[in-house]
Structure 1
Amino acid sequence: MPETSWREIVAEKRLRQQATIPKDWVLLNLPPKEQLDVSNVPETCGLLSTKEIEITNSPVEVLLGNMANSVWSSVEVTTAFSKRAIIAHQLTNCLTEIFIERGRKRAEELDEHLKKTGNVVGPLHGKSVCYTNTLLPNNRQYKGLPMSLKDQINIKDIESTMGYVSWIGLYAKKNSVLADILESLGAVLYVKTNIPQTLMWPETFNHVFGRTSNPFNRSLTSGGSSGGEGALIALKGSPLGVGSDIGGSVRIPGAFNGVYGLRPSYGRIPYAGCVNSLEGQDSILSVLGPLSNSIGGIKSFVKGVVSQQPWLKDPLAVRKRWSEEEYQLIEHGSGEQLCFGILWDDEVIKPHPPIFRALQETKKALIEAGHKVIDWKPLKHGEIYTVARDIWGAGATEDYNVTSAPTGEPVIMSMSPEAEKIVANADTPSFRRPPDGISAYELWQVQKKKRDLRQEYVDYWQASVELTGTGRPVDAVISPSAPFVAPPHGLNTYANYTMIWNVLDYPALVIPVSKVDQTLDTKQSAHTFYGTEDQANYDLYEPETFKNAPISIQVVARTLEEEAVIAMSEIVDKALKEREYASRL
């Protein structure tokens, strides 16, 4: 197909998207491109009422409580978040599919059902998702909670282009399993969010919808591949969203946008019915995970989804109910004195000063809270990175080319602003093997090595019992989410700090800590570099470049310890907040 044809398809699609934005919600006073920090615009642009600002600033646990007690209706909450989502989109280009009227009708149905029956559609287990675990009347849990979804999660009669021109006009014939479950719990779906073409990028740009920027500094990336979700939730255009993560695609946007994000273990959250890249590659699986402005939102998502027995709807879903015992950290000393291992660097690339400061602050906060902290030395992280790239790259080039071939769109080779202007000679993304690829037998050897490395890491973690002084191995590892905060567009070239846990299949939860401080985060003297990548990363850092960028860390537990990693993350988050509060007194 001639180049002009795919461009014409994109132009028509963008016009259709624009037509779904309510005209009354189009901002006439958009900030100039030179204004990098737009995080306060939603509350100052004049579009939101005082009540709508209150609603959208509320965490999930407060929203659920107020809707359960009919303080706010589903329609009020859905309208407020829909308006704020449209504002966020105009500031960062974070949305793909917009179906607000459909969402509002769903909210009206839920309000009417509650009015007639006194109950809601799809209650959870009868316990509030609030930290207090108090009961709510009539088990009204997920009543009308607006939720955003990454573009690849199918919703009936909505497109899931995944950034491919060739998938424009393909409407989902039915919901994905997760969309069905969320609606059965009473969630209101109203927008889908932007991704990179192929998904296999830690940034967000595609030919169909363009680039998503970071709301705290629009010269920086929002991350990827769930970058639209990260930007939307950071601007509070959604209280709870769902991304996917094969190498960090939930946690990187979570970290770069200063929100919470969970990468669960393989199969804990159902994936069936979504579109994807590299389908058939099942050695390192992509997983779906939540992003939210509170850990309460993360907990409510996991607890709600597994309550619906997803293993009866998705053959790859793990048969594991929510375990309150695991959440109470019974196997971790009941949370009384935990021992955390801190991974200061992976011995490949040393993190920038803001990341190191966040790790130091986390260590101090945990010790002040009565917990133990030891150093966590990386075990063969470089080898694990190589294994991941070999597995993903075995068939990636062909996968991307086959998918893009029907319309002749170029496969994106770079996320830089300069490269996006030159698409005619584009190549495949960096996660790829040489053109000759590898044989099936060679791939089997790589997968065997991955299995052996996982065994070594299990043994290594278990052996830490000799170092902790608690009689248990390390309870969790605290790690950078990346060696930098959100970098400029096109420069997020290192996803290994998140990818490591995908290969090992360890659940990990990102926690925001602070923001870059020009005074505290000065450039340090050069260290002895591990290699050229490390030196390039050191050279990249200038405090002014990363101005106002959020700083985050991730808490990592062992396979299928979602309940425990949520509980331990609550402990870390609380310790950090208490330390910050004390420093202000």
Structure 2
Amino acid sequence: MDKDNRTTWQETVANKRLRQQSCIPKEWVISLPLDKECKDIRNTVLTCGLLSPRELEITSVSDVGLLLDKLASAEWSAVEVTTAFSKRAIIAHQLTNCLTEIFIEEALERASQLDDFLRQNGRVVGPLHGLPISLKDQFCVSGHESSMGYVSWLHKLAKNDSAVVKLLRASGAIFYVKTNIPQTLMWGETFNNVFGRTLNPYNLSFTPGGSSGGEAALLALHGSVLGVGTDIGGSIRNPAHFCGIYGFKPSANRVPTYGIVNSLDGQDAIASVAGPMSTSLSGIKVFMQAILSARPWRIDPNVINKPWDTDGYALKQYGEGRKLCFGVVWDDGIIKPQPPVMRALHTAKTALEKAGHSVIDWTPHKHAELIANARAVFLADGGADYADALTSGEPLIHSMKPDADPNQVPEFRRPRDPLTAYQLWQLHKQRRELRKEYFEVWERSIDSTDTGRPVDALICPVSPYAAVPHGEKKSAVYTIIWNTLDCPSLVLPITEVNAELDVSVPAHEFRGADDEAVYKLYDPQLFHGLPVGVQIVGYRGEEEATIAIAELVEAALKASI
């Protein structure tokens, strides 16, 4: 790369950052904490002095359903709710660097129109009337950039809204910010050359995960209560787990993805899916209900014609939820979970049994083969997709570590020959057979349950650890498996790392380098206070039932406290 070319992309980035900064009202700039030892900055949002008591009250609401009720009754106007969350989002950005695009004036204009409509007609525009919704940078909003962290994609204004944005807008949603992602998206952390690194509000030295890391950091600080992310290997679920929020990966082709910008675009064998991230389980439900009730297959031809399934949500095929049987994945045999993750699983198991449900151990079936298949599919192009997006001269990022040597290239980033069409077809055939085997195992679990049905849902780790220091994310083995199998998966926050309860355990026989690294990474004091969640995994295509089952799990957890 010659000097002039390098200067060109760097100047483009500098210009974009100035443009981004100009979108922040000067009166909303806060004094950042001076205490360099302060890693947990969540309280700064409350103490910085920018938010009025009324705005603090509005943005402290976690329950999306409650917020929608207050908007529909006009107790809170769309303008004041949008102003409050816009302010809080800007505070969150100054603390964690979570935003990409900011368009608050446009949002307030839309909010004013919605207030006028409610006042004049006595009814809401739709089920999401007046609700500010944040968007991962991939989602196109007409007139704004969706650079996805690539320098060469800057200055390209979207001509149309993405399909999901159209549906949300028609339902009454208000868009005000978009959130940060990693370069190429295919990372479990969030850093790119355009916007830089996003930090975890629980500990600034730790990652919020990726690729929907900006969304997770924003939601953790209540700069939003409902956002939209994408997931192809854990990109919704790992950030939700790392930041103590809710995240839902539906099965492919239920939520529209048409019109988003993407990496590996055109790779549909293991599809990238769109899904909600929220501060509450009600947020997950209202998003899915609004989208699936809006006939999304009419604007995205890949979406299946299946509206919101009322019977599915009522668990008609699951004994109406009176007694369920769960399978727990304690260990996938690839990477052993750290102590806080094991405690979260035990907490869920105990609560469910106390509530009258049964819980059995689940033996993973060929998880390593399923994961290897997905990785081979993702790498099949030999790196052509990334190269095509790096025409500005910006370098391909090889590591998420802050002090990484840019010249050190890990194995998975080294040049490789692309697979032939025939070789790719063989991977598709293998995945088809592996899926068939896995669901046969699931069906045979009827022999081990006491309900007369196969296991109703699985409970498993989201990751073998809580959030990790920047650059230390090792693997997505506990999430990518459900992308390969195309199962809906919902993350529930369970607990936080407790140094006294989650003590280190003796070393086990390591299964490989990643397993050893994960074991050695754990330090109870270092990880203390970080959130820990679990995944609730449902049967393929049964999103409504998975949400309802997650609600039962959360109710059991609350009742057991």
Taking the aligned partners of 1:284 and 1:80, their CA distance within structure 2 comes to 39
1:8 aligns with 2:19: no
Taking the aligned partners of 1:60 and 1:553, their CA distance within structure 2 comes to 21
- Select 2:64's aligned residue among 55, 60, 64: 60
1:46 aligns with 2:45: no
Q: 1:368 to 1:431 in 2, by over 3 A?
A: farther
User: What is the CA distance between 1:529 and its match in structure 2?
Assistant: 2.3
Deviations 1:117-145 (A, max 9, x none): 21222x2xxxxxxxxxxxxxxxxx31110
Taking the aligned partners of 1:312 and 1:256, their CA distance within structure 2 comes to 35
CA contact (8 A) 2:297 2:303 kept: yes
1:547 aligns with 2:521: no
CA contact (8 A) 2:31 2:48 kept: no
What runs of 5+ residues in structure 1 fail to find an aligned partner?
124-140, 581-585
CA contact (8 A) 2:220 2:245 kept: yes
Taking the aligned partners of 1:32 and 1:319, their CA distance within structure 2 comes to 54
| Equivalent residue number for residue 438 of structure 1 | 419
Deviations 1:249-307 (A, max 9, x none): 00011000000000001011000110000011110000000000111000000000111
Equivalences for residues 505-516 of structure 1 within 5 A? 505-516=486-497
| Equivalent residue number for residue 490 of structure 1 | 471
User: What is the CA distance between 1:435 and its match in structure 2?
Assistant: 1.1
> Counterpart amino acid of 1:46?
G
User: What is the CA distance between 1:3 and its match in structure 2?
Assistant: 0.7
Q: 1:181 to 1:107 in 2, by over 3 A?
A: same
Taking the aligned partners of 1:394 and 1:20, their CA distance within structure 2 comes to 40
Q: 1:31 to 1:457 in 2, by over 3 A?
A: farther
Root mean square deviation, CA, Å: 1.2
1:237 aligns with 2:223: yes
User: What is the CA distance between 1:32 and its match in structure 2?
Assistant: 3.6
Equivalences for residues 142-181 of structure 1 within 5 A? 142-181=128-167
Taking the aligned partners of 1:417 and 1:411, their CA distance within structure 2 comes to 15
State the TM-score, normalizing by the size of structure 2: 0.98
User: What is the CA distance between 1:29 and its match in structure 2?
Assistant: 4.3
Taking the aligned partners of 1:113 and 1:359, their CA distance within structure 2 comes to 47
- Select 2:380's aligned residue among 380, 390, 394: 394
| Equivalent residue number for residue 485 of structure 2 | 504
1:71 aligns with 2:75: yes
> Counterpart amino acid of 2:394?
E
User: What is the CA distance between 1:547 and its match in structure 2?
Assistant: 2.4
Deviations 1:325-377 (A, max 9, x none): 11011111110000000000100110000000000111000000100000001
| Equivalent residue number for residue 413 of structure 1 | 398
Question: Secondary structure at 1:2's aligned position in 2?
Answer: helix
| Equivalent residue number for residue 303 of structure 2 | 317
| Equivalent residue number for residue 284 of structure 2 | 298
Deviations 1:534-581 (A, max 9, x none): 22211111112212210000000011111011000011111112222x
Identity %: 54
Equivalences for residues 325-364 of structure 1 within 5 A? 325-364=311-350
> Counterpart amino acid of 1:546?
F
User: What is the CA distance between 1:532 and its match in structure 2?
Assistant: 2.9
1:189 aligns with 2:146: no
- Select 1:271's aligned residue among 247, 257, 269: 257
User: What is the CA distance between 1:431 and its match in structure 2?
Assistant: 5.4
CA contact (8 A) 2:382 2:416 kept: no
Equivalences for residues 96-175 of structure 1 within 5 A? 96-121=100-125, 123=126, 141-175=127-161
Taking the aligned partners of 1:226 and 1:493, their CA distance within structure 2 comes to 17
Taking the aligned partners of 1:477 and 1:396, their CA distance within structure 2 comes to 35
Question: Secondary structure at 1:545's aligned position in 2?
Answer: helix
Taking the aligned partners of 1:434 and 1:80, their CA distance within structure 2 comes to 48
Taking the aligned partners of 1:358 and 1:112, their CA distance within structure 2 comes to 47
> Counterpart amino acid of 1:354?
P
User: What is the CA distance between 1:478 and its match in structure 2?
Assistant: 0.2
Give the number of equivalent residue pairs. Answer: 557
Deviations 1:22-53 (A, max 9, x none): 11110024354431101111111111111111
CA contact (8 A) 2:250 2:543 kept: yes
Question: Secondary structure at 1:108's aligned position in 2?
Answer: helix
What runs of 5+ residues in structure 2 fail to find an aligned partner?
none
Taking the aligned partners of 1:300 and 1:105, their CA distance within structure 2 comes to 24
Taking the aligned partners of 1:432 and 1:554, their CA distance within structure 2 comes to 29
